Structure 1
Amino acid sequence: MYELVVDPVAEEQIAALPDEALRPLAELFALLETAPWSGEPYNRAKPRSNMLTHAFGERGLATYVILEEQRETLLVRLEWP
């Protein structure tokens, strides 16, 4: 199990999400706490990097960093175009 930590910028982005994004976001949070390595590499040239992205809902994209030694997932940015 990983602790999910949300960056202040990501908190602002969460507050701005439409209602339709909240349920998929909650599902993403559960996934980031249990299986954060299931995402895609942020930089495809460095596939073993600890910075990943994960889609959520129909249009959302989360960017996060896994801090393995601390067993933390740091959510740094959210996009919902």
Structure 2
Amino acid sequence: MYVVELDPVARDQADALPAEAINPFLELRALLELHPLSGLPLHPDNPKANMLTHDFGESGMATYFVVEHLRRVYIVRLDWLG
């Protein structure tokens, strides 16, 4: 299991998510605890990079990186288009 942490900016973005985004975001956090590499590379030309993105809900995207040897996921940005 991995520990999921939020950067201070991402924490502010999480606090500002609309009500319909809360459950999908919590589901994403739970998924990342078990399968952090399930996202897509932030830069497709570097598929083995540890900076990833993952959609959540109908309009959300999280950008995060994985620190494998510490078993940590660090979310740096959340976007919600809605």
1:1-12 equivalences in 2 (<5 Å): 1-12=1-12
Per the normalisation by structure 2, the TM-score is: 0.97
Equivalent pairs counted in the alignment come to 81
1:32-47 equivalences in 2 (<5 Å): 32-47=32-47
Per the normalisation by structure 1, the TM-score is: 0.98
**Match for 2:2: what amino acid?**
Y
Give structure 1 stretches of 5+ with no counterpart: none
Runs of 4+ in structure 1 displaced over 6 angstroms?
A: none
Q: How far apart are 1:68 and its partner, in Å?
A: 0.3
Give structure 2 stretches of 5+ with no counterpart: none
Q: Note the alpha carbon deviations across 1:34-64, whole angstroms, 9 max, x for none.
A: 0010000000010000000000000000000
